[in-house]
Amino acid sequence: MRPFAYQRATDVPSAVAAGTGQAMYLGGGTNLVDLMRLGVATPEVLVDVTRVPFDTIEETPGGGLLIGAGVRNSDLAAHPLVLRNYPMLAQAVVAGGSGQIRNMATVAGNLLQRTRCSYFQDITKPCNKRVPGSGCPAREGDHRNLAILGHSEACVATHPSDMAVPLAALGAVVNVESSGGPRAIPMPGFHRLPGDAPERDTLLRPGDLVTAVELPALPFAARSRYRKVRDRASFAFAVVSVAAALDVADGVVRDCRIALGGVAHVPWRAERAEAALRGAPATAEEFARAAEAELAQASPLPRNAFKVPLARNVLVRTLLDLTAREDLTAAGDTGETS
Amino acid sequence: MTTVAMPNVGSALDRVDALEKVTGRARYAYENFPADLAYAVPVQATIAKGEISAVDVDAVLQLPGVIAAIWHANAPRLAPRNGDPELAVLQSSRVAYRGQYVAVVVAETLESASEAARVLRVRYDADEHDVELRPGHPGLYRPDHVNPYFPTDTEQGDPDAALAAARVVVDATYSTPAEHNNPMEPHATVAVWDAEGLTVYDSTQGASNIRDTLAPLFGLPPGSVRVISPHVGGGFGAKARAHPHVALAALAAKQVGRPVKLAVTRQQMFAVTGYRTPTIQRVRLGADADGRLTAIVHEAIEQSSTVSEFAEQTAVPTRMMYAAPNRRTTHRLVRLDVPTPSWMRAPGEAPGMYALESAMDELAIACRIDPIELRIRNEPDVDPESGRPFSSRNLVACLREGARRFGWAGRDPEPGIRREGGLLVGTGVAASVFPVYRMPSQATARAEPDGGFTVRIAAADIGTGARTVLTQIAADALDAPMDRVRVEIGDSALPPAWVAGGSAGTASWGTAVVRACEALMDVLHGRAGDVPPEGLEASADTTQEVRAQRRFAQHAFGAQFAEVAVDMDTGEARVRRLLGVFAAGRILNPKTARSQLIGGMTMGLSMALLEESVMDQEFGDYLNHDFAQYHIAASADVRDIDAVWIEEDDPGLNPMGSKGIGEIGIVGTAAAIANAVHHATGVRVRDLPIRLDKLVHGVI
Amino acid sequence: MRVHIDVNGERLAADDVWEGESLLYVLRERLGLPGAKNACEQGECGSCTVYLDGLPVCACLVAAGQAEGREVVTVEGLASGDDLDQGLDEVQRAFVEAGAVQCGFCTPGLIVQAHSLIESTPQVPEDADIREALAGNLCRCTGYEKIIDAVRLAATRKAQNKAAQKKAPR
């Protein structure tokens, strides 16, 4: 690991003051420490923010939730208001990592996870995301797990977070503090598509510190679900995942929120599918039509074309489950193949 | 040979070293801290083929804590005469595969050494590499023999004519990927030189073997090398021979004149500690309308490195599984610019039986015969190719017992019709086999003046339970209670012994232990039980006994049953039930044995559904070289799993009456699961692993 | 820097620690506590699981600086006595009796994770919950079956012990 200066922040101002230049913030460390050991992340200054007191979850006046950036994944998934009002979020968090990882990993760290693309993680190989301009071997090489939507010549990486998928579906807002003052960046839009600058995962600028994530009030999200498809029965990154909330009255979709994971450089808000569904009958045919509408823009690579029918199927299945099941709780995928 | 009466043997006793392990006190190789130690971190080649032109040693010597940076230009010379060329570390400028060691950095702390290794600049003249195993590769050749000493090819009758004339023919090509052993403990070596010679604390399956490898390499007599490895965190074949890091650690320690610790990282393990070769196997079965085989042809191609030849015995089990008058097996190898493959649990049998037992399932369907009945119909009376009698062969009993326990009767063979909600459900069966080996070993048994006994043998307990089972065997042979018998293993200073490999550990070591104990009992009887203050010792060497053994065909057999559920939307296949029924002679400790068998079956499940080392064609390395990307089964993948055995009394084996059980559990599991997936979905997956991308199109 | 950590109830200090070292390295190489194992150094196998401030974490992913002043319990700290037969935690005892140990390398991490599961679950957990809770602890030897048996056994005994304590007159 490259030597660095270590600083321990005790509050947001001291963190932001320390977070200048080639500094990085250390939250749970479950991704950053690994990347530093691999030589992928080489901060000159590491600002430890694990003692900054932004680890609470509060109800907002509008009926939403304000989740501190340092809230541990395990606390987030177990919070009664998250379980009741946003079950897909609790399910997604529980579906990520292992118990040990969730005990360390934070909300901000989860949002800022780097891609799990094999080439990105191996410093002996080119990668435009790690070394801009060095090339993307994944396009010709192994890309089974990589993007089918929104990728570029420069990068076909996927965002690995489970948590970010329901956050994108919910339109959560990321609160950021910096030397220039606070900002609020809505999701989707916080993460960016790779374009010709895949080294930038998000709209954050150097020194920006994520302080909280705000969830809007969305009553029908109490009926929501996260379905994660993975190669191993547990403790594996998503091949494809779906977060969906559905508001159905009299057999008609009044409103919905849908996002896909494992398919793009960002947690992919399925806006076309949502548009196709609003006002449509809540039927399998319409769900399939909506999924097709979203995935019509997919441009799979030779070895990940299976993700297109997979994403379609999972999206349709999740929506069907939401219309069929009365008792959706944060228990998440209890099915045999979850 | 008669088996001795044994009150402890056969009992489900707790592991004698379990207390040390659950409290964290068991010491593994890297957990030795000799005074003045330094840390070594290897540097691996970043090209797959070519020459090292320069290494910028001076730059890293400036870094804090760095003691030395060693490469072929400044390394001590080794003497790898007639030995494994992989062990000639830092002896030449040639790079034969990506990840090969090209240098090693030694520093005061692990972090200093790691950072120096990361920034050490190595310059190469790279050549074009070829890392792709493919049918028709121009480099395919016929090796002189296959591992360990089997004929490369065999043929009887006229298989081509028999296939042409057969009423039913199955002709299918199966492929298995490279797989990595991935024991939980990464390989680690602590090397200490002193006036006496070299001591290494090593994570190994055979201390005697490592000593005998290291001594000539460093120009030492065997007595000047000592290898100590009381606890080993798994091996599965990956620690059955010295891999290059052992030589590298000893070389680095010699160069810097200090003890050196070297742990191979999980990522590094994918290049330098062996793996299972990928295979491409064409199997052709010819049968009459009743499913009686008239021809069996099994042709395998595999890879090895340009450094050394490792030719796996993929098609060898096909030589003895089923009766057929016309038969052929072949092995062809291509030497690629890849890491050197080696043993991984059930080399040969694991991939070979996946192909053969998948083909048998395909034949059963083609003949409209129940797959268990098909196997029973083709049961041979004697070993089909050698004509030798089997000392015991209870495959049919395993199949029948398994069918009874699993609820096989009444199974509808029609694929793709059992729906449970959004799941397709199916069941499958496959046969399992592993040969019985026994190798020469030595042991001493000692009566202590306090009435206790000490038994010494350079055996290894890599998690098998060897320490426990040898204690049981010794206690019974000495007619003493378990707690009066102390068994010392894991040290090359003890009487030399066979490695924990080939499922032959217990048979080989147990024989030596029994003979040493018998000799001691003779001495004791002669003295009317009197033990002098200095104690009494007797020893045994089983070389003659093992060589004189009558040549039966000796194998353990088993039957694997699987039930799978496949998600119709996603193609996710999960194993609901897995049952193995085995016939493996006398089971010496049901508790440790069941764990071994279930563990092997779980590795077979993992092989079936998850494991694949992906060769990166552009860069020439195994791309997914960590546990996040190379999936092994986690606890959530295993649901209802059980291993049982049938009574088998085979006096022709060894004094314990046992057959090896370390490897048979993995054999046939992948085929049983693949057959169950076909039964569930109608999709026949002929290339492992069975991941959802191979099913998602077929099930919707 | 000098790092102070409360390890297994004892305030320990290590000198000349570099902040980039992991808690696992500090425990194993500097504090003489090699019970937690290093098997992947990426948080992908759970072999290094220790309690950090009461929660099980992968010690390989905790930077030494993060552990300053915190409480750590390792597998060495779960048994209450020096005698191996006495003072074992129920989880340790159950792992021995159920035959849940083979090579032993995953064992310390599994025991800490299982201990946490049992301590944080009032009832005896369902098998599916045990399997999910242990999904981050890879084992290559046992096939997990006996590990699940051991956790169930330990949970049952702990629940019985608690019930017995409640009933006992004060």
* Domain harbouring B620, CATH code: 3.30.365.10
Query: Between A and B, how many CB-CB pairs are < 8 A?
Result: 98
The first and second tokens of residue A210, run together, are 């994520």
Q: Which amino acid is residue B238, in one-letter code?
A: A
Q: Given an 8 Å threshold on Cβ–Cβ distance, is C58 in contact with A101?
A: yes
B170 φ, ψ to 5°? -110, 130
Minimum Cα–Cα distance from A336: chain C residue: C128
Nearest partner of B250 among B314, B323, B189, judged by Cα: B189
Cβ–Cβ gap A142/B614 under 8 Å:
yes
Displacement of CA B255 from its chain's centroid (Å): 33
**CATH number for position A319:** 3.30.390.50
Q: Is B311 helix (H, G, I), strand (E, B) or coil?
A: coil
Is A270 a domain residue?
yes
CA dihedral B313, B314, B315, B320 (to 10 degrees): 70
CB of C41 closer than 8 Å to CB of A33 = no
Picking from B21, B263, B592, the nearest residue to C104 by CB comes out as B21
| B525 in any annotated domain | yes
- The whole-angstrom distance between A19's CA and the closest CA on chain B is 24
Shared domain check, B606 and B693: yes
Query: What's the CA gap between B48 and B339, in Å, rounded?
Result: 9
Are the beta carbons of A129 and A122 closer than 8 angstroms?
A: no
Within 8 A by CB and 6+ apart from B410, the residues are: none
- Whether residue A161 lies inside any domain: the answer is no
Q: Residue A206: pLDDT above 60? A: yes
Q: What percent of chain B has pLDDT over 90?
A: 96
The Cα–Cα gap between B293 and C85 comes to 58
* Residue B560 shares a structural domain with residue B652: yes
**H helix runs in B71-141, sequence order:** 110-119
Closest Cα in chain A, distance from residue B692 (Å): 7
- With cut-offs at 50, 70 and 90, classify the pLDDT of residue B30: very high
From chain C residues 68-97, the ones with a CB under 8 A of any chain A CB are: 68
Are B590 and B639 found together in one domain? yes
Domain count, chain B: 2
pLDDT tier for residue B549 given thresholds of 50, 70 and 90: confident
Q: Are residues B694 and B620 in the same domain?
A: yes
Residues of B within 8 A of C135 (CB-CB) are: 634-636
B553 and B647 part of one domain: yes
Q: Report phi then psi at B607, rounded to 5.
A: -65, -40
Cα separation, A285 vs A216, whole angstroms = 30
Asked if the bond preceding B371 is cis, omega within 30° of 0, the reply is no
For residue A331, name the pLDDT band (cuts at 50, 70, 90): very low
Amino acid A324: pLDDT: 87
Band (pLDDT 50/70/90 cuts) for residue A262 is very high
Beta bridge partners of B283: B172, B298
Could you tell me if residue B655 is inside a domain? yes
- C84 contacts in B (CB within 8 Å)? 19-20, 23
Residue B650 DSSP class: -
Task: Look at residues A166, A302, A286, A174 and name the one whose alpha carbon lies nearest to residue A238.
Answer: A166
Cα dihedral A12→A17→A19→A22 (10° resolution): 180
Global pTM exceeds 0.95: yes
For the cut 80, the answer to whether the pLDDT of residue A334 exceeds it is no
Is B627 in contact with C107 (Cβ distance < 8 A)? no
Verify whether the Cβ–Cβ distance A124 to B46 is below 8 Å. yes
* A216 Cα to chain B: minimum distance (Å): 31
CATH number of the domain encompassing residue A29: 3.30.43
**CB within 8 Å: C36 and B26:** no
Cα–Cα distance, B348 to B329 (Å, whole number): 12
CB A246 within 8 A of CB A224: yes
In a domain, B254, yes or no: no
A46/C43 Cβ within 8 A: no
Domain-located, residue A244: yes
Answer yes or no: do B433 and B576 share one domain.
Answer: yes
Last residue of a domain, one of A16, A33, A48: A48
CA dist B513 and B442 (Å) reads: 8
All residues of chain A having their beta carbon less than 8 Å from the beta carbon of residue C116 are 99
How many separate domains does chain A show? 2
Chain A nearest C-alpha distance from B610 (Å): 7
pLDDT average, residue stretch A174-199? 97
Domain assignment present for residue A257? The answer is: yes
Task: Please indicate whether, in this complex, the C-beta atoms of B623 and A141 are within 8 angstroms of each other.
Answer: yes
* Residue-wise pLDDT tens digits, B599-639: 999 999 999 999 999 999 999 999 999 999 999 999 999 89
Whether A311 is in a domain gets the answer yes
> Both B488 and B553 in a single domain?
no
- Domain extent for A260: 224-324
pLDDT of residue A327: 41
Q: Is residue B670 part of a domain?
A: yes
B559 falls within a domain: yes
Mutation target among C57, C68, C116 for the A interface, most CBs of A within 10 A: C57
Q: Which domain holds residue B511?
A: 439-547
The β-bridge partners of B194 are B197
Residues 136 through 165 of chain C touching chain A, CB cutoff 8 Å: 136-137
Question: Among B547, B578, B594, where does a domain finish?
Answer: B547
Do A233 and B46 make contact, defined as CB atoms within 8 angstroms? no
> What is the Cα–Cα distance from B587 to B665, expressed in whole angstroms?
14
Chain A residues close to C69, C-beta within 8 Å: none
Cβ under 8 Å to B: C residues 130-169: 130-132, 134-148
In degrees and rounded to multiples of 5, residue A6 shows phi and psi of -110, 130
Contact by Cβ (8 Å): B152, B145: yes
Q: Do B24 and C85 touch (CB under 8 A)?
A: no
State the smallest CA–CA distance between residue C136 and chain B in angstroms: 7
Residue A94 in any domain: the answer is no
**Integer CA distances (angstroms), C65 to A44, A208, C5, C69, in order:** 15, 22, 10, 9
pLDDT per position as a tens digit, B495-534:
999 999 999 999 999 999 999 999 999 999 999 989 999 9
Residue B414 designated active-site: no
Whole-angstrom distance, CA of residue B383 vs CA of residue B366: 26
Q: Output the six-digit token pair for B315.
A: 């098609």
Are residues B411 and B558 both part of a single domain?
yes
Nearest CA distance, C145 vs chain A (angstrom): 16
Dump pLDDT digits (tens) for B377-426.
999 999 999 999 999 999 999 999 999 999 999 999 999 999 999 999 99
What is the pLDDT at residue B544?
Answer: 97
What's the rounded Cα separation, in Å, for the pair B605 and B561? Answer: 11
Question: Does residue B651 contact residue B612 with C-beta atoms inside 8 Å?
Answer: no
Residue B35 domain flag:
no
Given a cut of 70, the residues of chain C with pLDDT beneath it are 81-85, 169-170
Name chain B contacts of A2, Cβ cutoff 8 Å. 115, 118
A306 to chain B: which residues are within 8 Å by CB?
692-693, 696-697
Q: Which domains does chain C have, with CATH numbers?
A: 3-77 (3.10.20.30), 90-163 (1.10.150.120)
Residue A148 in domain: no
Indicate whether B149 belongs to any domain.
Answer: no
Tell me which chain A residues have a C-beta less than 8 angstroms from the C-beta of C131: 234
If asked whether residues B658 and B594 sit together in one domain, one would say yes
pLDDT (0 to 100) of residue C83: 63
Res. B433: pLDDT tops 80:
yes
Residue B106 lies in a domain: no
Res B5: pLDDT: 59
With CB atoms and an 8 Å threshold, state whether B627 touches C97: no
The single-letter code of the amino acid at B562 is A
Same domain, B521 and B393: no
Cis peptide before B317 (omega within 30 of 0): no
- Specify whether B574 is located in the same domain as B683: yes
* pLDDT tens-digit map of B120-135: 999 999 999 999 999 9
> ∠ CA(B658), CA(B662), CA(B664), 5° rounding?
90
Is residue A189 predicted with pLDDT exceeding 50?
Answer: yes
- Final residue in a domain of this structure, among B480, B512, B547: B547
Confirm whether A177 is domain-assigned. Answer: no
Whether B574 and B681 share a structural domain: yes
Confidence (pLDDT) at A332: 40
